[in-house]
Structure 1
Amino acid sequence: MIELHLLETFLEIYRSGSVTTASARLGLSQPAASARLARLEEQLGEPLFVRAGRGLSPNARADELAGRAGPHLDQLRHALDQAGRLDGHRGTVHIGGAGEIMAARILPALAPLAAGGMRLRVTIGLADDLLTALGNARLDLVVSAVRPTRSGLVATPLIDEEFLLVGAPTLARTIDAAALVTDPVAALSHLPLVGYADDLPIVRRYWRSEFGRRPPNPVAVVVPDLRAVLAAVIAGAGVSVLPRYLTEAALAAGSVEQLHQPQVSPLNTLYLATQRAALEDPALALVHRHLLERARGWGTL
């Protein structure tokens, strides 16, 4: 009989396409996750993946196994999670993150835990400040767009954000389509920018990634809340780079338009950051595990 922990590891690798990501989500070392996969393949008598670039590509046998075992393992996880709540993980967890992702994804995802007795104390702020608070034990968990480098902190990949360059239709009509192809920096240079901070971290990263240089554009508005950035963009104050999950409704309504189509959409990974030993706390471990499970259904944000 195949052991459940081998199937669990296989399913994580199958869904993430990466032993590294799967091992982080499971709280294993990469060699341990690889060893589990090798043991499962040995028991089955055939390989399940082929290497594809930096990741792994499942074969037909892996597709069949994931289709048969995946739903049952997910139901078992859900049942155990419900049982854990009923057994009373009623501690207090201090969690920090940017207001946008906390409002759009994190707090709705954690609502069932709160309804079951978990006490959540939420701090909204910038990643560097929140990670400092985490390192000083003022927070238990941080949803961070920055991977922490401070000793004693560990980060588990949660989800990838996809970024779009967007502007109001009136501004979109001022862009020369031919110039946008041949010289995009010049074609966009007249558009005022709406930024999240004075150093334009998100906008600057997009320009460097897509165009190889910093934006020369004038900066019209700086506001440290991406929801406010979107409001300013919709009102015509300027253009900005925003995560897709924030702009979907405005794009569907025609309030904004995507101004540039990259060949490969720029992504940024969000992490769950904790102190190294913190997950020994049952309440925090439950929040951590619950967010990872919910994020599997979000796709790329």
Structure 2
Amino acid sequence: MLKNLDLNLLKVFISVYRHGSITLAAEEMGLTQPGVSGLLKRLQSQVGSPLFVRSGRGIAPTHHAQELIRQVEPALIQISNALENLDGFSTEQHRKFVVYTSEPVMLMLVPKIEADTTLGNVTIELQSTHSNEEQLLHGLNQHQADLAIEFAEHSTKAYFTEPLFEDNICVIARKGHPRISSKIDKAQFYNEKHITLKLRREDAYLADYFTEENLSERKVAAECTSLVSQMSMVSTCDCIATMTRSIAKLFADKLDIQVIDSPFTDIPIRYRLMAHNRDRNSPSNIWLRDKLKSYFD
């Protein structure tokens, strides 16, 4: 079997395994569905065992497929990295990178990526990070994204992180606010009505998550899940809000809002690059990590 094994069959198998779908694997590899099905049948014939079975409207891997992916995928990754290392990564190659990240980082990165004239034929696509940690790790593991930009700590050993940049929280109020100008104390903070922002994955308000003190209950006028809507609402009323300083400064002049130091002890927001261990030494992934870091130098 090994004498006649075609490595391209294994690449098709891994794609079908990752997607759990012949259709999606065909789209990824630029093949037809019958073509992918035919290649899978050839591989199943060579290994002598069924690799997928029908499951609802899709397919599910058999025990043999799970064992095969466990042993074969790391070897193919090593081969891919070795071939990349021969010439290194070049922006002359057509390549699309996918990065999971949050709204604040998207707001900062999109203009930088758009203005970068050194990308060549490379595209960097930003996608909203998953609200569920398991889905995030699954996406990285299944090659649905090349890396993620995270501020949460992850304990799993299958992934590594590198520091990207630090941010902190601040308070915003509209310019011309009748009671607040340039600074705010704790009493004023609690006296004003708030536009709050809740972090989906942590299920906690941003102000509580990044403040050392335990904050008391605030007068909530509205709750948002978007920094942009939070800033827009503050700019048109006398409510205040707690948000990330970098984004507040980015939109302060456009929206006529004040950026004010928080009256509490803030905890730094440490953003990190996160990727699967198999990509640590990949020239293309190293290039992507260095490129993202350069935007925050």
- In the superposition, the TM-score normalised over structure 2's length comes to 0.57
Structure 1 contact 148–273 (Cα < 8 Å) conserved: no
**Residue 126 of structure 2 corresponds to residue 125 of structure 1:** no
Structure 1 contact 89–283 (Cα < 8 Å) conserved: no
Report runs of 4+ in structure 1 exceeding 6 Å deviation: none
Other-structure match for 2:209: 205
Change (3 A) 1:261 1:220: closer
Per-residue deviation, 1:164: 0.8
**Residue 272 of structure 2 corresponds to residue 271 of structure 1:** yes
Alignment of 1:69-80 (within 5 A): none
**SS in structure 1 opposite 2:288?**
helix
Change (3 A) 1:218 1:264: closer
The 10-residue stretch of structure 1 (215-224 or 262-271) with the greater mean CA deviation from structure 2: 262-271
Other-structure match for 2:109: 105
In structure 2, give the amino acid aligned to 1:140.
Answer: D
The 10-residue stretch of structure 1 (119-128 or 161-170) with the greater mean CA deviation from structure 2: 119-128
Q: Whose helix proportion is higher, 1 or 2?
A: 1
Other-structure match for 1:154: 160
Per-residue deviation, 1:188: 2.0
**SS in structure 2 opposite 1:197?**
strand
In structure 2, give the amino acid aligned to 1:287.
Answer: L
Per-residue deviation, 1:173: 0.4
Per-residue deviation, 1:111: 5.6
Per-residue deviation, 1:143: 1.2
Change (3 A) 1:233 1:217: same
Alignment of 1:271-290 (within 5 A): 271-290=272-291
Deviations 1:77-98 (A, max 9, x none): xxxxxx9545x34323221111
Alignment of 1:5-84 (within 5 A): none
In structure 2, give the amino acid aligned to 1:227.
Answer: V
Other-structure match for 1:164: 170
**SS in structure 1 opposite 2:233?**
helix
Per-residue deviation, 1:162: 2.5
Tell which structure's C-alpha radius of gyration is larger: 2
Change (3 A) 1:135 1:262: farther
Deviations 1:206-238 (A, max 9, x none): 4x42xx222311322222221221111112263
Number of residue equivalences = 204
Other-structure match for 1:29: none
Other-structure match for 1:138: 144
Other-structure match for 1:61: none
**SS in structure 1 opposite 2:215?**
coil
- In the superposition, the TM-score normalised over structure 1's length comes to 0.57
The 10-residue stretch of structure 1 (271-280 or 259-268) with the greater mean CA deviation from structure 2: 259-268
Per-residue deviation, 1:294: 2.9
Structure 1 contact 89–282 (Cα < 8 Å) conserved: no
Structure 2 contact 169–262 (Cα < 8 Å) conserved: no
Other-structure match for 1:116: 120
**SS in structure 2 opposite 1:193?**
strand
Change (3 A) 1:161 1:226: same
Q: Quote the Cα distance in structure 1 between the aligned partners of 2:156 and 2:262.
A: 36
Structure 2 contact 232–255 (Cα < 8 Å) conserved: no
Per-residue deviation, 1:123: 1.2
Other-structure match for 2:218: 217
Q: What's the RMSD between the two structures over aligned residues?
A: 3.3
**SS in structure 1 opposite 2:168?**
strand
Q: Quote the Cα distance in structure 1 between the aligned partners of 2:262 and 2:128.
A: 32
Q: Quote the Cα distance in structure 2 between the aligned partners of 1:220 and 1:130.
A: 32
Q: Quote the Cα distance in structure 2 between the aligned partners of 1:130 and 1:225.
A: 20
Structure 1 contact 91–119 (Cα < 8 Å) conserved: yes
Q: Quote the Cα distance in structure 2 between the aligned partners of 1:143 and 1:95.
A: 7
Change (3 A) 1:126 1:257: farther
Unaligned residue ranges in structure 1 (runs of 5+): 1-82, 297-301
Other-structure match for 2:46: none
What percentage of aligned pairs have identical amino acids? Answer: 11
Per-residue deviation, 1:171: 4.9
Change (3 A) 1:217 1:135: farther
Q: Quote the Cα distance in structure 1 between the aligned partners of 2:101 and 2:118.
A: 17
Q: Quote the Cα distance in structure 2 between the aligned partners of 1:265 and 1:205.
A: 9
Other-structure match for 1:8: none
